[in-house]
A and B are shown apart, each in its own frame.
Chain A
Amino acid sequence: MNEIDPQNWQRVKEIFQGALERKGSERESFLEQECGDQTALRSEVESLLRSYEVAGSFMESPAVAQAADTLAPKLNPGQRVKHYQIVNLIGEGGMGEVYLATDTILGRRVALKVLPEFVSKDPDRLRRFTQEARAASRLSHPNVCVVHEIGETDDGRPFIAMEYVEGMTLRQRMKNQGMKLGDVLDIGIQIADALTAAHEAGIVHRDIKPENIVIRPEGYVKVLDFGLAKLTERHKGAMHVTMSTLLFDSSPGTVIGTAAYMSPEQARGVAVDERTDIWGLGVVLYEMASGYPPFTGETATDVVVAIVEREQPPISRHVEGVPPELERIVKKALRKDKNERYQIVKELAIDLRSLRKDLEMNSMLDRSVAPATGSEYARASTGRDKIVETDELKAAQTTIHEPVRSNSRPWLAVAAAVVIAAIGFGVYKLLTRSEPKGPVPFERFDVTKLTTNGISLLAGMSPDGKYVTYVTSEGGKSTLWLRQVAINSNVQLIPPREGRYLGVAFSPDGSFIYFGFAGSDRNDAGQVYKLPTLGIGAVPTRIDLPDGLPSISHDKKRMAFIRYDRANQRDYLVVANADGSGEQIVATRNWPERLALDLLTKVRWTAGDKSLLLPTVNSAPSSSNGISSNYTVAIFEKNLVSGAEQTIPLNLQEFDDVGRVTVLPDGNGIIMLAKAYGASFVQVWQLFRDGSIRSLTNDLSDYRELSLDADASSFVTVQAQVVAKVWMLPKGETKPVAITSGTSRYYDLFAAPDAKIVYASDASGSADIFEIASVGGSEARQLTSEGRRNYAPAVSPDNRYLAFHSNRAGVFQIWRTERDGTLPKQLTFGSSESTWPSFSPDGKWIVFQHFEPGEPFSIWRVPVEGGTPQRITEGVSIRPTISPDGKLLAFWYNDQQGNSSWKLKVVQFEGGATFNVFDVPPPVEVNWDSPLHWSSDGRYLTYVDHRGGFDNIWGQPIEGGEPRQLTHFEEGKILSFDWMKDGSLVASRGVIMSDVVLISDATQ
């Protein structure tokens, strides 16, 4: 450690920076002149200069990239854990992630809880947990969540496959709705029943809290995670505090976690038995009834102190009208001394039941006790697990014509109703809202592709549904079109011109088309113009459109629109007279809550013009449920007569990206574009007031527009796909032939000796290695399926082995398998990454690039059969490739000197002597994804250059001279390429195909 002298520092800095700009003798004399005889100063500067020379890529890749694995979900949709296939992430927290998954053997859906690696490295403990969880499952009690399997993922994390329970956690239930006395008792009784069964079998739960209790839509309560606490307790002798407590405990800004539900004996770290669960139930009852946990504090320590020492305030301190009997029951469950508590949970259940019976006689069950705890309280909540109402399993396979209707129940809409489902007890009182259900819009629908040109970007539909306006774009020029739907006629409204359209829409009466247009300069924010719909040949006029498009009331007297206050990031809902006078702001929302995501958002007038309906979108993470959620979508209803407003949240499913949110005319739901959390593609979704959610589309493309006609009988959207194909250009020919037909993303092409093309594709979520025949258009064959991310395949010259880099063991390392992907063998180890393998032509070595912290990327080699890697290069060097004759090694090279430009370096494979170094002319951008290959005759080093505006392959003659353009493509992007032995080229080239699609409701 160097102590820094502040005065010296400034001086060192100046000289260091000055020296860096100079080289060789110039630098030498600069140092001489600046430092003179101050040897200490000079040696400090020189030491820093030396450090700079060797620092290489040190800190050059941002921490976000490095932390990606830490921060992002670990399993992707489609990925497998044993025979479970991940559908999506439904919750996560300190105790790992929970996924909805398909059991591919039994064809049922399961909740897959994947625990953190660090939870248990103790096989004994894991075994005890397994025993207990299995024992609990064998109870087959209706209130106990069934555990199907306990196992370990390939990377060594324990997982639990359990019954997938649809519904919401008690935490969410308390937050979203007020609790009626009936609810409190009913839920409490069912928990008590579950515990009774468990305790009789000798199983203690140890971690009863609202997050571990799920309430199904029809009212069943399921208690989750029996025995799990056993896995997470700390070692004997220490406090019996669960791991999640520790996680929450030290998390800044989060008030306490499981600490609030600990029993005094758990807090003290003494032996725990069934009576700890009785305490836990007491806490849950207290919280359900009062809306507050009984023991609180600023920090976890304070809470623990309260639990051990303080008497909880009576429930009546928080709410009125609590029956004294409930106070007594809760108080008895919350005795500090476990010998004074209920001794068996059955007694508690009996007391709750008789209380309910008494109250029923007096019709007191409908009495509201705790109000919805709402967001304010939610901050203190500890909800980590989350069960989401999700689509039926078949969602994943649904075709576009059969949207999936989730069967969730009107949870969010029944705040006024009491749901009592007395399981295993005589009383049934089910007061759900009557549901006069008309046909659901787009229950069935027809799909018509309006364009097939692949270059249609934006689309809008006229209110009468007769016209569609859309934009095509080609070669930097954009064109505005009008299509008459019924007769399939297309008219060019504005001929092709330089620039880009920012959006298109019809005016509310359909007589005008509005569009935003900006020049080709990326900094041009653009202007709004209008054009008469049927005034073909008319000149667009520029208009000022500061607000969203207005909606006219049914009586035509008023209009409503959204105004955005940019300075304050605030949205206003504005009502005005039809002539624009008498403006009045009727509602306001602050970012991150918004009344409109864009200026196309429609405000709807209800029949009689009493209320306005519009969507609100909240893009902030809801810390309440512990999920870093993305977008919460709601219907906002403003009664213009009474002034009352209501926000009806619609989604429990998390969305990564949301757009074009539109309230359906009946006000019963919305339709929107959204990307489900962890999914790869934006789809069309419908969300209803009763809480059901479904995706209308379900395919491997992104949807980009959503414009409905006035009565929502049809809408247009734009379907966009990255259509990457693998092409082959036979030697001597000029016309490439596609050898794949898919819409996949093909990366890292490698032409194998058997003339197969091996590649990596991550279109399905995980990244795997595939192969396809170079002729004949056969099906692709998947070679890896171990999950995680597998990239950069290479095949040995004798066609025996496949090598690639994979992070299946944590860090990207070089793996080798048999040619068919079997018998994986890890060739490189350690905590630093080794990537981009390439076989030497004699089949003895695999060269690869390696990144060691604090060192530049360097190239190493390892024997194919395994052994100690040897370093080959100094200086930043990436993407090694060996010449066909096995003599030369080429790679991208950066000497980190001066302006640090990339070079192509060729060295002798044996000995490492430099053979040649070439400058790489701009605009070639070198990064990890820059393929570098020898031509099959070994005369050129080939790479992708965008010179001339199109991606093409260029070759640098290795004997020297100017690079030569080898292909003459005039479209598309080259994702990857390689040369076959006979000199044919294979390349993965992609374009975005984007077309307008009309979806019409066929329900009626």
Chain B
Amino acid sequence: MASQANITELLSGYARGDKEALDQLMPIVYDELRRQAARYLRREQAGHTLQTTALIHEAYVRLVDQRNVQWQNRAHFFGIAAQLMRRILVDHARTKKRVKRGGSDVRVSLGDATVAVKGQDLDVVALDEALERLARIDEQQSRVVELRFFSGLTVEETAEVMGISKATVKRDWSMAKAWLHRELSE
């Protein structure tokens, strides 16, 4: 199971297209997202963890404390995080819609998520669909959106993860934002 496996191996497994590795990574990533979310709610700054003051702490890392993981893997991690986040939000929004329609067929596709409705979300279902269309024509732009919006990376981090320049990220982001916004307004 995931907790026994080497995260690096899982990440490279995922890089090779090993579907099972992804399934094993999901809970880890999901857990990390929960942690981030909890911090956000507590108005707490991320980063103050006990692991940051060891003698030379740099050698010991948590999953998100990525200094140590090869960049390639970091990219995969955030890729997974972004995908998962997208999936969570979209599923959640779908459920919400269905509940609103009064259907009895309530399905929530996340074992761990007890779903509460936070209404200010933009229409993520529509966004998801639009993003699908965008991916077909401009994969890079859709990844930029996934990383920036769903994984919460900054422009700099997105550039690093994708191995493209900050300027490119900014340009892609502007364009994708304009395009998606128009798609969603129609």
Taking Cβ atoms with an 8 Å cutoff, the residues of A that contact B are 1-2, 4, 6, 9, 13, 16-17, 20, 47-49, 51-52, 54-55, 58-59, 62-74, 92-94, 96-97, 116-118, 234-235, 238, 243, 246-248, 250-254, 257, 375-376, 378-379, 384, 457-458, 502-505, 514-516, 525-528, 545, 564, 566, 568-570, 590-594, 596-600, 618-624, 626, 628-630, 656-660, 673-675, 678, 680, 682, 704-705, 747, 762, 767, 789, 810-812, 830-833, 851, 853-854
A-B contact pairs, 16 of them (CB 8 A): A1-B133, A2-B182, A48-B179, A51-B181, A67-B85, A68-B41, A71-B34, A243-B106, A246-B107, A252-B109, A253-B27, A503-B54, A528-B56, A621-B28, A622-B3, A811-B120
Which size class do B's interface residues fall under? Answer: 35 or more
**A residues in contact with B179, CB < 8 Å:** 48, 51
Nearest residue (CB) in B for A705 is: B53
Q: Which positions 51-107 of chain B face chain A at CB distance < 8 Å?
A: 51, 53-63, 68-69, 85-86, 88-89, 92, 95, 99, 104, 106-107
**A residues in contact with B4, CB < 8 Å:** 375, 590, 593
**A residues in contact with B88, CB < 8 Å:** 67, 70-71
Looking at the assembled complex, report how far the CB atom of B156 sits from the nearest CB atom of chain A, in whole angstroms: 14
Taking Cβ atoms with an 8 Å cutoff, the residues of B that contact A are 1-8, 23-24, 26-28, 30-31, 33-38, 40-43, 49-51, 53-63, 68-69, 85-86, 88-89, 92, 95, 99, 104, 106-124, 127, 133, 136-138, 145, 148-152, 171, 174-175, 177-186
Nearest residue (CB) in A for B43 is: A762
Q: A598-B55, A630-B31 given. 4 additional CB < 8 A pairs?
A: A20-B171, A64-B37, A254-B111, A590-B6
| Inter-subunit contact A96/B114 (CB<8 Å) | yes
| Inter-subunit contact A63/B85 (CB<8 Å) | yes
Checking A59, A527, A682 against B177 with a beta-carbon cut-off of 8 angstroms, the contacting residue is: A59
Contact A526 to B56, CB < 8 A, known contacts A72-B38, A762-B42, A833-B120: yes
**B residues in contact with A116, CB < 8 Å:** 114-116
Looking at the assembled complex, report how far the CB atom of B159 sits from the nearest CB atom of chain A, in whole angstroms: 16
| Inter-subunit contact A851/B185 (CB<8 Å) | no
Instruction: Please measure, in the bound complex, the distance between the C-alpha atom of A505 and the C-alpha atom of B117, giving whole angstroms.
Output: 49
Nearest residue (CB) in B for A64 is: B152
If over half of B's interface residues share one DSSP class (helix, strand or loop), that class is named, otherwise mixed; here it is helix
**B residues in contact with A13, CB < 8 Å:** 138, 175
**B residues in contact with A622, CB < 8 Å:** 3
Looking at the assembled complex, report how far the CB atom of B160 sits from the nearest CB atom of chain A, in whole angstroms: 14
Nearest residue (CB) in A for B186 is: A1
Instruction: Please measure, in the bound complex, the distance between the C-alpha atom of A811 and the C-alpha atom of B118, giving whole angstroms.
Output: 6
Checking B109, B117, B184 against A810 with a beta-carbon cut-off of 8 angstroms, the contacting residue is: B117
| Inter-subunit contact B33/A71 (CB<8 Å) | yes
**A residues in contact with B180, CB < 8 Å:** 58-59
Instruction: Please measure, in the bound complex, the distance between the C-alpha atom of A586 and the C-alpha atom of B177, giving whole angstroms.
Output: 55
Instruction: Please measure, in the bound complex, the distance between the C-alpha atom of A247 and the C-alpha atom of B40, giving whole angstroms.
Output: 26
Nearest residue (CB) in A for B149 is: A59
| Inter-subunit contact B111/A20 (CB<8 Å) | no
| Inter-subunit contact B28/A62 (CB<8 Å) | no
Contact A70 to B113, CB < 8 A, known contacts A118-B99, A622-B3: yes
**A residues in contact with B175, CB < 8 Å:** 13, 16-17, 48
Task: Give the 4 A-B residue pairs with the shortest CB-CB distance, closest first.
Answer: A659-B50, A598-B54, A831-B119, A62-B152
Instruction: Please measure, in the bound complex, the distance between the C-alpha atom of A618 and the C-alpha atom of B6, giving whole angstroms.
Output: 12
Nearest residue (CB) in B for A63 is: B150
Checking A4, A545, A630, A811 against B133 with a beta-carbon cut-off of 8 angstroms, the contacting residue is: A4
Instruction: Please measure, in the bound complex, the distance between the C-alpha atom of A854 and the C-alpha atom of B185, giving whole angstroms.
Output: 8
**B residues in contact with A69, CB < 8 Å:** 37, 41, 116, 118
**A residues in contact with B51, CB < 8 Å:** 597-598, 659
| Inter-subunit contact B8/A74 (CB<8 Å) | no
Instruction: Please measure, in the bound complex, the distance between the C-alpha atom of A944 and the C-alpha atom of B28, giving whole angstroms.
Output: 39
Nearest residue (CB) in A for B109 is: A250
Contact A52 to B177, CB < 8 A, known contacts A62-B151, A623-B27: yes
Contact A528 to B28, CB < 8 A, known contacts A4-B137, A59-B149: no
Checking A94, A238, A254 against B104 with a beta-carbon cut-off of 8 angstroms, the contacting residue is: A238
Contact A379 to B145, CB < 8 A, known contacts A71-B33, A243-B106, A252-B109: no
| Inter-subunit contact B111/A248 (CB<8 Å) | yes
Instruction: Please measure, in the bound complex, the distance between the C-alpha atom of A908 and the C-alpha atom of B58, giving whole angstroms.
Output: 54
Instruction: Please measure, in the bound complex, the distance between the C-alpha atom of A381 and the C-alpha atom of B143, giving whole angstroms.
Output: 35
| Inter-subunit contact B55/A592 (CB<8 Å) | no
Instruction: Please measure, in the bound complex, the distance between the C-alpha atom of A640 and the C-alpha atom of B133, giving whole angstroms.
Output: 61
Looking at the assembled complex, report how far the CB atom of A955 sits from the nearest CB atom of chain B, in whole angstroms: 27
Contact A72 to B34, CB < 8 A, known contacts A48-B182, A234-B104: yes
**A residues in contact with B36, CB < 8 Å:** 64
**B residues in contact with A238, CB < 8 Å:** 104
Nearest residue (CB) in A for B117 is: A810
**B residues in contact with A678, CB < 8 Å:** 38
Contact A62 to B54, CB < 8 A, known contacts A52-B177, A621-B27: no
| Inter-subunit contact B174/A591 (CB<8 Å) | no
**B residues in contact with A6, CB < 8 Å:** 137
| Inter-subunit contact A569/B7 (CB<8 Å) | yes
Checking A63, A246, A502, A618 against B54 with a beta-carbon cut-off of 8 angstroms, the contacting residue is: A502
Looking at the assembled complex, report how far the CB atom of B52 sits from the nearest CB atom of chain A, in whole angstroms: 9
**A residues in contact with B182, CB < 8 Å:** 2, 47-48, 51
Contact A58 to B118, CB < 8 A, known contacts A68-B41, A93-B112: no
Contact A569 to B68, CB < 8 A, known contacts A70-B118, A590-B5: yes
Contact A64 to B33, CB < 8 A, known contacts A16-B175, A503-B55: yes
**B residues in contact with A48, CB < 8 Å:** 175, 178-179, 182
Instruction: Please measure, in the bound complex, the distance between the C-alpha atom of A959 and the C-alpha atom of B61, giving whole angstroms.
Output: 53
**B residues in contact with A630, CB < 8 Å:** 31, 35
| Inter-subunit contact B120/A831 (CB<8 Å) | yes
**A residues in contact with B110, CB < 8 Å:** 247, 251
| Inter-subunit contact A458/B53 (CB<8 Å) | yes
| Inter-subunit contact A67/B174 (CB<8 Å) | no
Contact A514 to B55, CB < 8 A, known contacts A59-B180, A69-B118, A628-B30: yes
Nearest residue (CB) in A for B67 is: A525
| Inter-subunit contact A620/B3 (CB<8 Å) | yes
Checking A568, A618, A659 against B3 with a beta-carbon cut-off of 8 angstroms, the contacting residue is: A618
Instruction: Please measure, in the bound complex, the distance between the C-alpha atom of A67 and the C-alpha atom of B34, giving whole angstroms.
Output: 9
* Residue with the highest number of chain B CB atoms closer than 10 Å, among A17, A375, A526, A747: A17
| Inter-subunit contact A657/B148 (CB<8 Å) | no
Instruction: Please measure, in the bound complex, the distance between the C-alpha atom of A830 and the C-alpha atom of B85, giving whole angstroms.
Output: 24
| Inter-subunit contact B1/A376 (CB<8 Å) | yes
Looking at the assembled complex, report how far the CB atom of B140 sits from the nearest CB atom of chain A, in whole angstroms: 10
Nearest residue (CB) in B for A673 is: B50
| Inter-subunit contact A810/B53 (CB<8 Å) | no
**A residues in contact with B124, CB < 8 Å:** 63
Contact A591 to B6, CB < 8 A, known contacts A62-B149, A71-B34, A657-B49: yes
**A residues in contact with B122, CB < 8 Å:** 58-59, 853-854
Contact A502 to B53, CB < 8 A, known contacts A52-B174, A58-B181, A70-B113: yes
Nearest residue (CB) in A for B49 is: A657
**A residues in contact with B5, CB < 8 Å:** 590
Checking A9, A503, A545, A675 against B53 with a beta-carbon cut-off of 8 angstroms, the contacting residue is: A503
Instruction: Please measure, in the bound complex, the distance between the C-alpha atom of A673 and the C-alpha atom of B118, giving whole angstroms.
Output: 34
| Inter-subunit contact A851/B120 (CB<8 Å) | yes
Checking B26, B57, B116, B149 against A70 with a beta-carbon cut-off of 8 angstroms, the contacting residue is: B116
